[in-house]
Chain A
């Protein structure tokens, strides 16, 4: 009998990543190296709590939603009792995927298309063809007999479903902490019914850059004025000749004009860095703060929470709250961007629009408009971002300087304070903080 080939586990040797991250700069291999990407898949993406999807995607029994997260095929399924189950989308027999659509309904049970093994909605093995032939074999005691495997951790936080692939690691509440979670609390509290739902389909972009570049840019306040100059100048030109009363257009202008804001606007926004790479940009204000009031909706919230609390709730409109490493949330317009790395130099970004259930049409139009104007593959704003990420991915291959500078605003010892409120939104500490979180998740131990 032949022995299985002795295989090197992918993470053999406990390679340390510490040499790639310094206090104020990071090495280009973070973005370019296939080996670093392989170790990220093995360590970071398995240890982190990763956003899977919003539970409004699966309202009815048997509804499912699938996602591919750094090579892991996952599915969430609505159970008959209303709860959710999350499992790997991999047949216990020979590994065929059970669900082939991104979203759908599987009926009362799952049936593998290959050899017809069937599973209950919670993943338990229900039946196999030629059952008698398995008698006396080790199948039922083996992992294959246990049905579908589940990730190490699953948490449905007020409709936002997160997973941790690994069985070990920080628990959900400690991983994100109350400051990050307050953004999700705020989004949900904006619903008079306390529930959000996904609006339409996600805008899906594939970008030829490393996922960390995209995530850094979510905290980058200094690029809009130069990167988006052409879009902002065009918007300003149109804005001057804007006729009154065209609802669709004025909504768009309200969203596009702030892209022309100067450095001081962003520096005044305020920010917070949080442990584990998370951050809130725009603690005081953001490009979303100036949207026209919606009096009826606001009155509804005031009746529910009291005028002061409703006002506080609505005035918290951060530019982005980063849930490291997989998601960035906006409270208004209610939206999440989800990152799915596809390789060292390829990233899938999905923008999902959300709205309170039963939201006024205007609120849904606002998030639909923002998503389309700013996050579509046809967006006049995103084109320049995407182009420059792809350019950066190529440019970093050049010799002469192996380091990416993150010096802006650096102060010795800043890493000692795990949670730090910043007066100046233009400080690159938000990216330095991402890399401290990265190093922690990439710990060889």
Chain B
């Protein structure tokens, strides 16, 4: 569970389109938040682990995987881990739904 996190309310479930990322800025940190077709929520830092950087929010979502929008790397939304043959990791943050509010921990 690591260090204590602060949690933030990040809007309602219906503010998020299924399988389409949304950018949420919390205390200056930019996150890409995803709602899967099964209504699970995941949050990654909105920074591409590719050496050239760039955003993640605009990728294609399939199950709990993201295909990044710039280089088509496959990234596990749960851990931020880039799938082989590429390597790298995006920071992942915990998200849960409380009633119909989306809550993100940072």
A binds B: no
Interface set of B (CB-CB < 8 Å, partner A): none
